Structure 1
Amino acid sequence: MLTLSRPSSFVLVPPSGNGWRSFVAAGTAVGLHALVLGLLLSHWQADTPPAAQVRTLTTRLVTLAPPAPAQPEAVLPPAVIPEPEPAKPVEAPRADPRVEQRKLEQAALARKRVEQQRDRQRLEHERAERQRIEHERREAEELARQQAQLARARAAAEAAERARQAEAAAAASRQYLPISKDAPDYPERALDKGIEGDCTVSYRVNPQGRVEDPQVVGDCHPLFIRPSLNAAKGFRYQPRLVDGRAVSVEGVRNTFHYRIE
């Protein structure tokens, strides 16, 4: 380390421990760089271009012989083409008449068989059609007979029912014949106004022959309702007998006719 003590003189002072180490490191680095530079200079070679090659052209004189004269071409005579011989007609082979006769007989036999088969089919079809028609006719006749029987049975049943109803009605009417039926009084207001009409009353006849629960049925003028109900209540009937016992009769009706004479 260099220390200036005076402007005209200097004193060389040995470096300390840290400075010595820095100095050794710097020297080592400089030495390494010098070594690398020496190696590079020892192995470096300048690239020199290769020398150009000189090409030599060699010539040779060759003498050719004169061409030979051309030979005339030989002329060949025209070829003679022979005319084709006319084709001979080819005769068709003659058929054996016996073979032809046999073929004709076989064809006729085949046609006959086909016709016979068609005739059999036609006859079978006609027979089946006749059977179908006959079956349908029999079914229609059987149905008509059954319907006639049903109609006769129905008519007989209806006639018997009508006879029974008539007999029952006659018996019922005989059993509860009215004993007394008084006509109602003509309402004065209806008489003054000249009103006429009909009034039907439905009621029940009890076992004693008296009228119960009278009611007006259908159209009835209001002026005729009260006198009709009062008159029906006064009716007396012969009681209906069933097995010797008096019973009630429902739905007995009576129509009152109001007319001005």
Structure 2
Amino acid sequence: MNSLTFQQQEPRGNAANWREHGLALGMAAALHLGLGVVLFNLSSGTPMAPAVAAVIKTQLLSLPAPVQQPALATPVEPAPAPAPAPVTKAAKVEQADLAFKRVEQQRQQQARRIERERQQRLRDEQVRHEREQQRQAQQEQQRLAAAQRAENQRQAAADAEAQAAASRQYLPIAKEAPDYPARALDRRIEGECTVAYTVNAQGRVENPQVVGNCHPLFVKPSLAAARTFRYQPRVVDGQAVAVANVKNTFTYRIQ
């Protein structure tokens, strides 16, 4: 019998090992089959048929690469928390002082804020009061101005009415200018002379007198001219009455 010797080789890889193993197994199976046929023929005494060449078919198989399992992470235990330091009596006193100071600061800040708000309210109230006083003063000035205008208008209307009434009461009918004094004319003297008199119920001038400053040369002609005036007498309740203190000013100008 023939002997088969197998040599063990160093493993090279999973796929290469499978191919080599498959090839070796196929060859071994074919040799054993051929050897069995030969022994069977020899034992039966029958002539051996010509040996048929054995054909070995091999097929390469590609196996997937083995999946590597991820390494499990080793859980990390948390570090133990440091034990709190014991609080001493001095630390407690210091913390209490700090807390008291914070409360006192907050109280002072609130007091200052309240005082600022109060001062601001006082300033706002003062501004409003001053504005109100100004507004009232302006209104009072406007009222006084309107009242003064109304009074002026009333007085003007009354004066106009009085003048109109007076002119209706003793309207002049005839007035003649006085003669210019010859001496004043020669001396180139000019001036004015006012005469006051009474208009009686007949419209004639009574008791004429010079009032104010009057040049002596103008007194006589002024009084003489006033006596010649004639008026429409004043009538009250249908009766003619005298009017006193009627004035007339004579002007002397050289042309």
TM norm. shorter chain > 0.5: yes
Q: State the Cα deviation string for residues 91-119 of structure 1 (Å, max 9, x = none).
A: xxx75322211221111111111111111
Moved over 4 A (4+): none
Of 234, 245, 261, which aligns to 2:239?
245
Match of 2:119, SS state, is: helix
* TM value normalised by structure 2: 0.60
1:101 maps to 95
- How far off its partner does 1:192 sit? 4.0
* 1:220-239 matched pairs, under 5 angstroms: 220-239=214-233
Does the alignment pair 1:151 with 2:145? yes
Q: What is the root-mean-square deviation in Å for CA atoms of aligned residues?
A: 2.0
Does the alignment pair 1:187 with 2:187? no
Q: Assess, with a 3 A threshold, how the Cα gap between structure 1 residues 172 and 122 changes in structure 2: closer, same or farther.
A: same
Q: State the Cα deviation string for residues 170-196 of structure 1 (Å, max 9, x = none).
A: 221122111112222333333444433
Whole-angstrom distance in 2 between the partners of 1:175 and 1:227: 27
2:35 maps to none
- How far off its partner does 1:159 sit? 0.8
Q: State the Cα deviation string for residues 188-231 of structure 1 (Å, max 9, x = none).
A: 33344443332221212122211122111222221221111111
Q: State the Cα deviation string for residues 111-141 of structure 1 (Å, max 9, x = none).
A: 1111111111111111122112211211221
- Number of equivalent positions: 168
2:49 maps to none
Whole-angstrom distance in 2 between the partners of 1:182 and 1:157: 39
Q: Assess, with a 3 A threshold, how the Cα gap between structure 1 residues 137 and 259 changes in structure 2: closer, same or farther.
A: closer
Q: State the Cα deviation string for residues 7-36 of structure 1 (Å, max 9, x = none).
A: xxxxxxxxxxxxxxxxxxxxxxxxxxxxxx
Q: Assess, with a 3 A threshold, how the Cα gap between structure 1 residues 260 and 100 changes in structure 2: closer, same or farther.
A: closer
* TM value normalised by structure 1: 0.59
Gaps of 5+ in 2: 1-87
Whole-angstrom distance in 1 between the partners of 2:253 and 2:136: 61
2:5 maps to none
Match of 1:96, SS state, is: helix
